[in-house]
Amino acid sequence: MTRSLPEPALRHRVRAAAAAAGAAALLVTSAGLASAAAPTDVQYPPPPAPTLDVNVLQPICDGDVPYLEYAVTATGTTNDTVTITWQNPAGSDVVLADLPLTGRVLWPGAVVGANGEALDWPGWTQQADGTWVEGDEFDWVRPSVDVLFEVNPEASATVAYPPSSPSCATNPEGVTPTVKVDTLTPTCVEGVTYLEYGLTVTGTPATTTTITWDNPDGPDFVQEGVPLRGRVLWPGAYPERNVDLPASQGWELVSNTWQNTRDYGWAVGTVDVTFASSPAVTVPVTYPQDTAGCVRAAGVSGLLPRTGTEVLGLVGFALGFLALGTTVVVLTRRRRA
């Protein structure tokens, strides 16, 4: 026999069930909304770093006035101007700000008149009688100078003072710079190959030179900003003799000195060498031959062996000689006995 609930109780149970169903639906909806609103875990790559490329960098002479032509390209930045800094190694820099990305600038120390004529040049001073003498506060921009370009990133380069030509002079009128090589000696010192040199310059404030070794089959070997007199390592030479160097890396004993003949074989023999101090002079030099006093350690009267293998050979020879002497002594004693 089925019992019926009173009507009020039935209505109560129906309402409770509906409320529970509504709450469950609300929880599902809320969870869905929360899930949709949750932040994602996507990782975006960082933007590329800004770059600056110097596309054009050309020293020029125009109307007897030295200029630097330039063009830079910047990426990853909205900056559309460049700051050019001529870097003085011993004093205040020359800074040119808010310049266009392409243009040309006057070389520091040069002075131009109202009609574009050259009035002064870096490294020169005009006397009261009108004559010119070497030296002023801009000596440091010749024969070369480091220049820094800044947009947001930065780039630097070394530029050489533009040379004079028959149609354009970058020095005062009537002054002809000269460079004379008065010392040029290929030499070997304690088993290392060098070139000793000395320059005399006139008509230019240059205090350094750039040495270029002419490679007829590839890139030249350049030594920049060296003194007007001194000694430089020969291209491909190793700065120490009493070592063992692997032949697999191109090392070979040439005239009893270590030389990388794989990369610098062209430097063994006679090579044209240019000394550039505005102007430049080119002279031939020849790889030094082995001499009795070359491969010698400081304070040692005898010559060094050519390689470490030879050292072991000499040691073995000495031990063998000692053993032979010992055998002779033993035999002599036995005979006497």
Q: What's the chain's average pLDDT?
A: 80
Query: What whole-number distance in Å separates Cα of residue 93 and Cα of residue 141?
Result: 10
Task: Name the one residue in this structure whose structure tokens are 């990369």.
Answer: 263
Query: What whole-number distance in Å separates Cα of residue 226 and Cα of residue 211?
Result: 8
Q: Return the pLDDT at 293.
A: 64
Query: What whole-number distance in Å separates Cα of residue 209 and Cα of residue 144?
Result: 9
| CB-CB contact of 214 with 272 (8 Å) | yes
Same topology, domains 51-160 and 178-286? Answer is yes
Amino acid (one-letter) located at 315:
V
pLDDT digits (tens, 9 = 90+) for 30-42: 545 445 555 566 7
Query: What whole-number distance in Å separates Cα of residue 98 and Cα of residue 283?
Result: 44
Q: Return the pLDDT at 165.
A: 79
Query: What whole-number distance in Å separates Cα of residue 174 and Cα of residue 171?
Result: 9
Q: Which two tokens stand for residue 82?
A: 């460049």
- Provide DSSP, 153-216: SEEEEEEEPPPPBTTB-SS-TT---EEEEEEEEEEEETTEEEEEEEEEEESS---EEEEEE--T
Residues ≥6 apart with Cβ < 8 Å to 126: 120, 132, 172
Q: Return the pLDDT at 277.
A: 84
Report residue 313: phi and psi, to 5°.
-65, -40
Pick the residue with more confidence: 77 or 231? 231
| CB-CB contact of 93 with 85 (8 Å) | yes
Exposed, middle or buried by CB within 10 Å (0-12, 13-18, 19+), for 151? Answer: buried
Domain 178-286 has CATH 2.120.10: no
3-state secondary structure of 302: coil
The three-point CA angle 39-44-45 to 5° equals 160
For residues 158-190, one letter each, b for 16 or more C-beta atoms within 10 angstroms of the residue's C-beta and e for the rest, the string is ebebbbbeeebbbbbeebebebeeeeeebebbb
Mean pLDDT of 183-207: 89
Percent of the chain with pLDDT over 90: 49
Q: Return the pLDDT at 133.
A: 85
Domain residues of the chain, as ranges? 51-160, 178-286
**Rg from Cα positions in the chain:** 40
Q: Return the pLDDT at 38.
A: 52
Percent of the chain with pLDDT over 70: 74
Domain 51-160 has CATH 3.40.630: no
Least confident residue range of 110-124, 154-168, 208-222: 154-168
Question: Would you say residue 169 has pLDDT above 70?
Answer: yes
Under DSSP, the state recorded for 296 is -
Cis check for the bond before 279: say yes or no (omega within 30 of 0).
Answer: yes
Least confident residue range of 6-10, 267-271, 321-325: 321-325
